[in-house]
Amino acid sequence: MASASRHISERIDRPVEEVYAYVVDPSNLPEWATGLGEAVENVDGRWYVDTSTGRVGFSFVERNPFGVLDHVVTLASGETVFNPMRLIPDGDGCEAVFTLRRTAGVSDDAFERDARAVAADLARLKGILEARSNA
């Protein structure tokens, strides 16, 4: 059975290449993706994020020229969660789009909380990158 999805986006007034370079670096996650976790660590080439539910593995797809930032989160249980994310060029800026997938057993309230957390993370990303252009 297919899961429900919601596309959450934020326009960022910075060149897509600049946004991509920042987002694809996992060491920047604690600054903008606080919904994912608070600390990140690279151990033997693998990235780990400390979350409210424990330590999880994190990996982006290979770097690419298409703005694809899909990533996999590996939970402590070993379960993997695939998260589609894209940067779409838009004039001098870009649109960051995250696809939130609702998995089995997730309540309406929990799905809405997750959607708000993703929207807040994308808004934070916008704020950080646009503030750098004014510095």
CB atoms within 10 A of CB 16: 21
Q: What is the pTM of this model?
A: 0.90
User: What is the full per-residue pLDDT of the chain (135 aa) written as tens digits?
Assistant: 456 899 999 999 999 999 999 999 999 998 998 867 778 999 998 999 888 778 899 999 999 999 999 999 898 888 898 999 999 999 999 999 999 998 888 888 999 999 999 999 999 999 999 998 765
Domains annotated on the chain, with CATH: 5-133 (3.30.530.20)
Nearest residue to 95 via CA among 6, 16, 7: 16
What is the torsion angle, in degrees rounded to the nearest 10, for the CA atoms of residue 50, residue 56, residue 57 and residue 63? -60
Other C-beta atoms lying within 10 Å of the C-beta of residue 101:
16
